[in-house]
Amino acid sequence: MIKIRVLLTCLVFLLLSLPSLAALVSQQITASKTFKLKGMELEAISGVFHFEFDPQLEPNQVIVDLAGAPLNANGKVAAQANFFIIQPTDAKLRKGALLEVSNRGSKAALRYFNNASYSSMPNKASVLGDGLIQELGLSLIWVGWQADLVVSDSVLQDNVMHDNIMHANLPRIIGTEGWVRSDWTVDNSKSLLSLAHKDNINTVYPVNFDKQQQAWLTKRMGRDNLRTVVPRNNWQFSSDGKKIAGDFTPGIYELVYPSKDPIVVGLGLAIIRDSAEYLKAKDSPYKVPKTIAFGVSQTGRFLRQFLYQGFNETELGYIAFDGMLIHTAGAGRGSFNHRFGQPSRDAHRMSSFFYPTDLFPFTSSRVRSAITNKKAGLLKRYHEDFYPKIFHTNTGYEYWGRAAGLIHSHDVYDIAPMANERIYHFASAQHFVGSSKNLTLIDENEGVFQGNTLDFKIHLRALLSHLSQWVINDEAPPKSAYPKYADQTLINFSHFQLPAWLKIDKPYKPHTAYEIDYGDNWQQGIIANQPPRMIAEIIPPVPKVDSNGHEISGIRHPLIRAPIATFIPWSLRYNKFSSNEINNFRGSMRKWSVERIMSRYASKKSYLSHLRKMTLKSLNEGWILARDIDKVSQQGAWLWDWSMKQPDARFKKSDKGIGE
């Protein structure tokens, strides 16, 4: 029986003081609901955390512009963030907590780990999927950290924040001026461009109209092409200073403009740090013994920044997170702690160019840059007592679209993960799990479809189980699985080749990292050079592929081990300018001819039998859970039926490869 306990009626709230904590000073509960999942009583709690940060404390001095932020009556800098918690009502069942750093305000953990559908308000059993997170004894936590999100009905009213989109209310440095950059890849002509990275997701730093004539706009026809200035009389700012109007034909546009009143975006890192500390505090109502952070894509890069800047050591000198699952971050960090930072800017081959995302250092161990002679490492800012146990998980796309090869290599040498780390590569998968409904035929002669349906979530579920056991019980997880120079599964891009039968073009380049000059004050978090000056380009290595076109290294999905189609982690920008560049996020699939498939398998039944053998092999290696065996069979059955239905009259007859 579901018991509902509403603590607020018409936004009347309970305020709880938390005097023993460092920066999280109070919480405000807006709603609470109890329900049962597989016999376990859970409680979904939502509300607002209130923080105070002392600019004088050494752990806070890395936060850019904190010293200039307005102080409250306690002489501290105040901030608020909404939270959402799902945990057992019985504290004895709480073995740890999984705190997801929300990607642009969303709640993704249930989809990634519980096989659940998306829900912005997961406060009932029907939206929690199969309950894997809960069965592992993990409370599930979301805390807002990003202040530039569009939340139309969640203006901070009476100190209450909207529960559905995870966001933070951070202070601004009123009166401070500076330069902001926006860019756009325009594939179809437009007359209006928003200064925000994503118009429906992000708010924007508006133009400072007093100095608007100093703004300048350029256009170029490729990522590395020379810029040409667009005459000022060909475009103008909108009346609200948040858009530009003009005749924008296909190309890459880049605007540098004056703005003012920057947000102290680095407080988002401190909010996540202090929330983790609070969860383990003696008098916390949500007390757990261990904490694990989860970040995906944008927030995977957030966690790399979090580590690099020393935030895993709290104000009180404790470790914030005991474990981390950093997913699809590649070698990136991001715009999470600098003046006029735009946290959503992510940097890809053909969008969001040259933001402080793919910057040295890339490895956790300290190495020396051959370009600047600087020696640094992601984890070398503080003592190893503050190192969490980390899983770095990347798909094949991140090796092409996020320079993932740089997290375990330097120059042409392998760099082994540290003792507290594991690195796992999901071979041939794209950035996210693609839907079969979104496959688009882009090369009829070769049978190439844009979209990649390889479901790496079965591996993520198993790895979360391994990570939780490592963090909670100190049980060693499987060894790292990723491409290496030593066994020739990692190769320089110039040596990359597709099998001869696969008649498609390889990308012009993988996404490259850079040494960049942002100006003399970059060490203080201030960008003076807009756009920045390129010092050197770093081309990352990529995984080698087998005769079927699949990446040899890493965790190989059973559908690769029993192949009847080729999964490719990248796709090209077909029928667009810069058509030899890779698409953001999306991979592709090369359909095999019916003749080729039937030369391997006498029937669908014999194929599914072989697929099951490969699935059991993955189970024995620890890459999937027993509960997901049937799901792989369902995926295989769909792939067989799809392959048989697609016409293949134009396909080459020489598309032969070697199966496992």
Q: What is the pLDDT of residues 216-257, one digit of tens each?
A: 999 999 999 999 999 999 999 999 999 999 999 999 999 999
Burial class (CB within 10 angstroms; exposed 0-12, middle 13-18, buried 19+) of 172: middle
CB 515 within 8 A of CB 504: no
Question: Judging by DSSP bridges, how do beta strands 323-327 and 389-395 pair with one another?
Answer: parallel
Amino acid occupying residue 102: S
- Predicted pLDDT at 363: 97
Quickly state the pLDDT bin for 199 (edges 50, 70, 90): confident
Percent of the chain residues past pLDDT 90, beyond the cut = 90
Mean pLDDT of 491-520: 96
CB 485 within 8 A of CB 409: yes
pLDDT at 466 over 80: yes
Element (H, E) at 128: none
- Predicted pLDDT at 161: 54
Phi and psi at residue 398, in whole multiples of 5°? -65, -25
DSSP code at position 174? T
Amino acid occupying residue 545: V
Q: How far lies 140's CA from each of 128, 258, 329, 370, 493, in Å? A: 11, 41, 21, 42, 40
Q: What is the pLDDT of residues 115-161, one digit of tens each?
A: 999 999 999 999 999 999 999 999 999 999 999 999 865 444 444 45
Quickly state the pLDDT bin for 7 (edges 50, 70, 90): very low
pLDDT at 15 over 50: no
Quickly state the pLDDT bin for 287 (edges 50, 70, 90): very high
- Rounded to an integer, what distance in angstroms lies between the CA atom of residue 247 and that of residue 252? 13
Q: What is the pLDDT of residues 71-105, one digit of tens each?
A: 999 999 999 999 999 999 999 999 999 999 999 99
| Residue 515 C-beta-side C-alpha neighbours within 13 Å | 10
pLDDT at 162 over 70: no
Q: How far lies 235's CA from each of 229, 260, 294, in Å? A: 11, 21, 42
Spatial neighbors of 427 by CB under 8 A, at least 6 apart, are 396, 543, 550, 551, 552, 553, 554, 555, 556, 557, 560
Tokens of 268: 């988002």
- Predicted pLDDT at 164: 84
Q: Can you say whether residue 439 is alpha, beta or left, with left for phi > 0 and alpha for psi between -120 and 50 degrees?
A: beta
Phi and psi at residue 157, in whole multiples of 5°? -120, 125
Mean pLDDT score of the chain: 93
Q: How many CB atoms lie within 10 A of CB 412?
A: 10
Query: In 3-state terms, what secondary structure has residue 44?
Result: strand
- Rounded to an integer, what distance in angstroms lies between the CA atom of residue 584 and that of residue 351? 8
pLDDT at 639 over 60: yes
Q: What is the pLDDT of residues 541-563, one digit of tens each?
A: 999 999 999 999 999 999 999 99
Q: For every residue of 587-618, which 3-state class applies, written as one string?
A: CEEEECCHHHHHHHCCCHHHHHHHHHHHHHHH
Segment among 4-8, 43-47, 116-120, 374-378 with least mean pLDDT: 4-8
- Rounded to an integer, what distance in angstroms lies between the CA atom of residue 313 and that of residue 320? 6
Residue indicated by tokens 């597709």: 498
Query: In 3-state terms, what secondary structure has residue 279?
Result: helix
Residue 194 CA to its chain's centroid (Å): 23
The better pLDDT of the pair 462, 2 is held by 462
CB burial string 86-95: b at 16+ within 10 A, e below:
bbbeeeeebb
Single pTM value for the model:
0.95
Number of helices followed by number of strands (H, E) in the chain: 10, 31
CB 475 within 8 A of CB 561: no
Nearest to 255 by CA among 231, 225, 219: 219
Phi and psi at residue 640, in whole multiples of 5°? -60, -50
Q: Long-range contacts for 616-622 (Cβ within 8 Å, ≥24 apart)?
A: 617/558, 617/561, 618/555, 618/556, 618/557, 618/558, 618/561, 621/478, 622/462, 622/466, 622/477, 622/478
Nearest to 396 by CA among 319, 340, 452, 332: 452
